[in-house]
Amino acid sequence: MSETPIVSADQIAASAPLTGQPMVKAEQVWKSFGKLDVLKGVDLEVYPQQTYVLLGPSGGGKSTLLRCINHLEKIDAGRLWVGGDLMGYRQRGDVLHEMRSGDVARQRSLVGMVFQRFNLFPHMTAIENVMESPIHVQHVAHKQAEAEAEELLTRVGLREKLDVYPAQLSGGQQQRVAIARALAMKPKLMLFDEPTSALDPELVGEVLDVMKNLAREGMTMVVVTHEIGFAKEVADGVALIDGGVIVEEGPPNEVLVNPKEERTKVFLSKVLA
């Protein structure tokens, strides 16, 4: 979509090499809503600059796992770290202390999230959506935030739509604004929750292109999607989640081409049919 990288070089340089500390680490994560166990002991490691794709049937727990990573949902058991920090808790000795909302917000500001339903702020123009958090959370000067927002929107191909309200944008354009909005916080990690599921088929490509560029530029990404093609093309790791557990994981050319588990085979045959 553009030749200039979306992620700045120092952002990439700041992240550790692939062999270092994982960007996301989940250890026996459990999550239940009432009596319904949605996650039943999930282990996951995503390393810096990796693109990790979560596949699986709906209701299997993949979106919940994503929402646990940035603490939009509290986990019931296990541990979850982002960039080496426990999400939502502070550990002193053996005792866990819940974090105050301000500290949770600080942690979340390092993790960008893109939603299935875009969730742009409808009362702000495209550029105001992108500037909002840098100005009010990171206290970036208005002029600088505006310049950076303009740059980001240009890179996702929306140079002509800066002053347009979300309601006047197509789904694909809205989702690209949402990606720019998340990137404006200069996150270390990006989470995508079925970013193309609510789009008309002909608009899926433009959003996937932006995501592919991001992946190639070295952004660490965890992506929940049904786009097997995207997974094959850019994923470093793929996991199939069903029934609240990771059924199978590995590099895409193993999991997607020669799956070992019966459940993976069944799922893939349905998705690819």
Partner 1 sequence: MDADKVAAAGGDPAAAASRPEAIKAIPVRHWGRWISAIVIIYFVVALLYSFIKNPNVQWSVIWHYLFMRYTLIGVANTIEMTFAAMVVGAVGGTLLAVMRLSANKVLSTVSWVYIWFFRGTPVLVQILFWGYIGALYYRLYLGLPFTGLVFWSTLAADATRHIIVVAILALGLNEAAYAAELVRAGIISVDAGQTEAALSLGMSPALTMRRVVLPQAMRVIVPTFGNETISMLKTTSLVYVLGGAVELLGRMQQVYAMTFQIIPLLIVASIWYIFLTTILTIGQHYIEAYYGRGFGQDEAEAAEKRAARRDLRRAGMSHV
Neighbours of 20 (CB within 10 A): 11
Kindly state whether residue 15 participates in binding partner 1, applying the rule CB under 8 A.
no
CB 217 within 8 A of CB 1: no
Q: Output the smallest distance, CB 164 to partner 1, in A.
A: 5
Q: Output the smallest distance, CB 111 to partner 1, in A.
A: 7
Kindly state whether residue 139 participates in binding partner 1, applying the rule CB under 8 A.
no
Q: Output the smallest distance, CB 8 to partner 1, in A.
A: 19
User: In terms of DSSP H, where are the helices of the chain?
Assistant: 9-14, 62-69, 101-108, 126-136, 142-155, 171-183, 201-216, 228-234, 252-255, 262-272
Q: Output the smallest distance, CB 179 to partner 1, in A.
A: 12
At residue 82, φ and ψ (nearest 5 deg) are -125, 125
Kindly state whether residue 11 participates in binding partner 1, applying the rule CB under 8 A.
no
Kindly state whether residue 19 participates in binding partner 1, applying the rule CB under 8 A.
no
- Contact with partner 1 (CB under 8 A): which of 122, 205, 229, 251? 122
Kindly state whether residue 117 participates in binding partner 1, applying the rule CB under 8 A.
yes
Q: Kindly list the strands in the beta sheet with 220-224, ordered across the sheet, starting from the edge strand earlier in the chain.
A: 111-114, 189-193, 220-224, 51-55, 237-242, 245-250
- Contact with partner 1 (CB under 8 A): which of 137, 141, 257, 266? 137
Contacts of 255-261 with CB under 8 Å at 24 or more apart are 256/228, 256/231, 256/232
Kindly state whether residue 154 participates in binding partner 1, applying the rule CB under 8 A.
no
Strands 189-193 and 111-114: parallel
Kindly state whether residue 198 participates in binding partner 1, applying the rule CB under 8 A.
no
- Site stretch for partner 1 (CB under 8 A), options 46-54, 87-95, 124-132, 213-221: 124-132
Residue in the block written with tokens 């979106």: 63
Q: Output the smallest distance, CB 72 to partner 1, in A.
A: 6
Q: Output the smallest distance, CB 73 to partner 1, in A.
A: 10
Q: Which is nearer to partner 1, 122 or 205 (CB)?
A: 122
DSSP class of residue 260 equals: -
Kindly state whether residue 144 participates in binding partner 1, applying the rule CB under 8 A.
no
CB 126 within 8 A of CB 162: yes
CA 251 to chain centroid: 19
Q: Which is nearer to partner 1, 167 or 273 (CB)?
A: 167
* x/- track of binding to partner 1 for residues 157-186 (CB under 8 A): -----xxxxxxx---------x--xx--x-
Nearest to 241 by CA among 77, 115, 63: 63
- Site stretch for partner 1 (CB under 8 A), options 90-98, 110-118, 232-240, 257-265: 110-118
Kindly state whether residue 74 participates in binding partner 1, applying the rule CB under 8 A.
no
Coil, strand or helix at 248: strand
> Which amino acid is it at 249?
E
Residues of the shown chain interacting with partner 1 in the complex, contacts defined by CB under 8 A: 70, 72, 101-102, 105-106, 108-113, 115, 117, 119-125, 132-133, 136-138, 162-168, 178, 181-182, 185
